[in-house]
Chain A
């Protein structure tokens, strides 16, 4: 089997032992679901149902304008009881459609298995993917149909499926590959057809040998698809690093993967694509890992979009004690939420609950120039230099030092022995630079 890796990065403790061996459990379908109208990057949706209206499972209830958007669907059948602004796991407040579950689980009439999934044209596949509301399920939530659409002058040569899952604690993609390997491969074939290319690579971190084995078996005999074993190193699953590991190609600064002929999708997204095409199902449920020392029984759940974090935590036996924080996503790039009353969205790969600890807050010391952040940066930046510039508010200089190329993976801050919140300083620099550039453009 082929192997590949990238330069830089850090070695993290995995914390995956607890859940990686647990089969996917169907989460209890709640009495009420809260479906945010913005679960993707791009134009938010407007509701197309009204309070009081009965909806069926899988019925489209919100859609957006423009090309870069993704519709949202009812994840249960029942009655729309409210359309209100609520907390979103991304940290903002977003309009949500609240549906009271009538427990009938009635599918919307048009949703049924397709008889001819393999005969669809690339346009038809993209249309189905769009109508199903599929977005990048690794967490980036970029609308999938946009990725699969042709760009003039650019030819897709290889589709890379991301089965890396380099965030600690999260094992949802791992379980998807073990339990839905056929679907992953089928989805990959549809994506390859949609972007009109004959080569597919499934990249998996080598801490999941069982997934590599299962996926190799599922892909054997299918021309053009191969599985690659990638060493366990963070952020192996970051798009640009993954592309380099799998193809040896570097996405140019500011460019998209298609600039080097690559289209990347997550393995979970691939399953969603296959289900949309073969079953006609829109994206209303996903696999999610609930983990961390703050929750009694960590698990991998098949969960409906719109289920509250608190519903899942209850199903997992509740909290182990007083809770410090809940991270939506993995501990390296996930966002903390201040309440557990936030819904699962299409991009929710995991929830990590941390117990309150008697820990002293580590004090920020002066940088000792150990260069661990420089060695660890997968984008080859000098995080310590960027921090210095940010402290002096030298934004132009920070831009010249490629602050905008930071992918916010957090490797620099993870390794820093001086306890410097490097990523926060760099985020600040990025915001200032973006604001300055926007002001310039508006002049």
Chain B
């Protein structure tokens, strides 16, 4: 009874594999961003839909074309281009001209991702590359902030304190829910937190990065707040203002561009926090999330090298 005379398949162990897959993980990230998307549509209406659609479609098309031209396997079905497009859109204001958004998505995918070798080989977070490119190229078009719902031109909360504009700052509750001016996805901390909890629950992101990031921002701004006599309002304001929530949970946690060691992830988060606060309080821009993450991306390999875990049974670190 030699199994119908056929030879059996021989493979090396393990013979069991989890159902984890890149497309499944990417799908989960998209699911996690749905609350933020819905919030943006609620606050900015049709213009939010148009910006998001433009970015996603451009990103997917660019990925396909780039991979075809570079004679690589086309991998748009792993959803990573969709996420890049969606994340970029969420960092843009509702008033951004659609052609500018499209250029941003193209830069994200082509320069930020495919030229480096595609998913897994990029050094920088592609969406942030696109955003940084747009901010440098069309600074006015990418900062046309408007109030939610009625769409009146206004400054963002961070802009108000940066430029000492004297306008009244929104209340913390409005900032938490997202009833403030800002980019599509960075207005509602509540929507972002919902998505983030889902990703942590699904174990796609490590709590260490956002915790290190947010805690650093909170602690430093708390100290600054005390010297200004503003108490806890000031650090809480900084947590909910600008792109911090979006950056901390969805950009600084990008698998590809962040450290792989546990200690490294803490260091990465703290570094992002330091640079963000530095730019917000001392830099030329009102917001520093984008650049802080990009700068820390460059350090990820170095952080990995110096935060290697000790080997089991090896006593000290083998870095």
Q: A and B from one assembly?
A: yes
Residues of chain A touching chain B, judged by Cβ–Cβ distance below 8 Å, are 7-8, 10, 12-13, 91, 168, 240, 244, 250-253, 255, 310, 313-314, 318-319, 322-327, 331-341, 352, 354, 362, 365-372, 374-375, 378-382, 384-385, 400-402, 405, 408, 410, 413-419, 421, 423-424, 427
Binary per-residue interface labels of chain B (119-135) against chain A in the complex, 1 for a CB within 8 Å, 0 otherwise: 11100000000000000
Asked, given contacts A334-B13, A382-B261, whether A365 binds B314 with beta carbons under 8 Å apart, the answer is: no
Bits for B87-122, please: 1 = Cβ < 8 Å to A, else 0: 000000000000000000000000000000111110
A409: nearest chain-B partner, CB-CB = B14
User: Any chain A CB within 8 A of the CB of B17?
Assistant: yes
Q: A378-B312, A402-B311, A417-B22 are in contact. Are A427 and B258 (CB under 8 A)?
A: no
B13 contacts which of A326, A341, A410, A417 (Cβ < 8 Å)?
A410
25 A-B contacts, Cβ less than 8 Å apart? A240-B313, A252-B315, A253-B313, A253-B314, A318-B1, A332-B15, A334-B13, A339-B3, A339-B7, A340-B2, A366-B118, A366-B119, A369-B255, A369-B256, A371-B206, A371-B260, A371-B261, A379-B311, A380-B314, A382-B309, A384-B260, A402-B311, A414-B14, A414-B18, A417-B21
Chain B residues with CB under 8 Å of A382's CB are: 260-261, 308-309
Within 8 A of A (CB), among B1-50: 1-4, 7-18, 20-22, 24-25
The 5 closest A-B pairs by CB, nearest first: A410-B14, A366-B120, A371-B260, A417-B20, A331-B16
Give 1 or 0 for each of B283-319: 1 = CB within 8 Å of chain A CB.
0000000000000000000001000111111110010
Q: Distance (Å) between the CB of B121 and the closest chain A CB?
A: 6
Q: How many angstroms between the C-alpha atoms of A339 and B256 in the bound complex?
A: 42
Distance A15 CA – B245 CA, assembled complex (angstroms) = 41
Q: How far is the CA of A91 from the CA of B117 in the complex (A)?
A: 39
> A417 contacts which chain B residues (CB < 8 A)?
20-22, 24-25
Taking the complex as formed, is B262 at the interface, i.e. its CB lies under 8 A from any CB of chain A? Answer: yes
A417-B20, A419-B21 known; A325-B313 Cβ under 8 A:
no
CB pair B15–A327 under 8 Å, yes or no, is: yes
Q: Which of B3, B11, B14, B304 contacts A340 (CB 8 A)?
A: B3
How many Å lie between the Cα of A361 and that of B22 in the bound state?
A: 15
Closest to A408 in B: B13
In the assembled complex, the Cα of A415 lies from the Cα of B20 at a distance in Å of 6
Residue from the list A10, A251, A375, A421 in contact with B313, Cβ < 8 A: A251
B18 and A415 contacting across the interface, CB-CB below 8 Å: yes
When C-beta atoms are compared, the residue in chain B nearest to A259 turns out to be: B313
B12, B22, B256, B313: most-surrounded residue (chain A CB, <10 A): B313
Taking CB atoms, residues of chain A closer than 8 Å to B119 are 365-366, 368
In the complex the two chains form, what is the Cα distance from A133 to B274 in whole Å?
64
Q: Which residues of B contact A334 (CB under 8 A)?
A: 13, 15
Are the CB atoms of B12 and A374 closer together than 8 Å?
no
| Nearest CB of B to A403, in Å | 10
Q: Are B8 and A338 in contact (CB under 8 A)?
A: yes
Instruction: Collect the chain A residues with CB atoms within 8 Å of residue B78's CB.
Output: 365
Q: Which of A327, A365, A414 contacts B120 (CB 8 A)?
A: A365
What count of chain B residues pass the 8 Å CB interface test?
48
Chain A proximity mask over B236-262: 1 for CB below 8 Å, otherwise 0: 000000000000000000011111111
> B interface, by DSSP: helix, strand, loop or mixed?
loop
- B interface residues (Cβ-Cβ under 8 A, vs A): 1-4, 7-18, 20-22, 24-25, 75, 78, 117-121, 204, 206, 255-262, 304, 308-315, 318
Residue of A nearest to B1 (CB): A310
Interface pair A331/B11, CB less than 8 Å apart? no
Question: Distance (Å) between the CB of A178 and the closest chain B CB?
Answer: 25
Residue contact B13 to A335, C-beta cutoff 8 Å: yes
- Known A-B contacts A322-B4, A325-B15, A336-B10; the reply to A381 vs B311 at CB < 8 A is yes
Q: Are A414 and B313 in contact (CB under 8 A)?
A: no
How far is B24's CA from A7's CA once the two chains are assembled, in angstroms? 26
A38 CB to nearest B CB, Å? 20
Known contacts A250-B313, A333-B13, A369-B256, then 6 further A-B pairs from the complex at CB < 8 Å, ordered by chain A residue: A7-B312, A13-B16, A250-B312, A255-B313, A327-B13, A332-B13
Q: In the complex, A123→B78 CA distance in Å?
A: 63
B residues in contact with A324, CB < 8 Å:
8-9
Contact of B15 with A331 in the complex, beta carbons under 8 Å: yes
Closest partner residue, chain B, to A249 (CB atom): B313
Is A362 in contact with B17, judged by CB distance below 8 angstroms? yes
| Docked complex Cα distance between A252 and B315 (Å) | 8
Q: How far is the CB of A168 from chain B (nearest CB, A)?
A: 6
- Give Cα A8–Cα B261 distance, bound, in whole angstroms: 13
Contact partner of A323 among B8, B15, B260, CB < 8 A?
B8
Residue of A nearest to B259 (CB): A371
A401 vs B261: C-alpha distance in the bound complex, in angstroms? 14
Write the nearest CB–CB distance from A320 to chain B, whole angstroms: 12
Give complex CA distance A423, B204 in Å: 22
Q: Across the interface, name the chain B residue whose C-beta is closest to A314.
A: B1
Closest chain B CB from A364 CB (angstroms): 11
Contacts of A91 in B (CB 8 A): 10
- Chain A proximity of B309: nearest CB distance (Å): 4
Chain B residues with Cβ below 8 Å from A367 are 120
- Of the candidates B2, B3, B17, B206, the one whose C-beta lies within 8 Å of that of A414 is B17
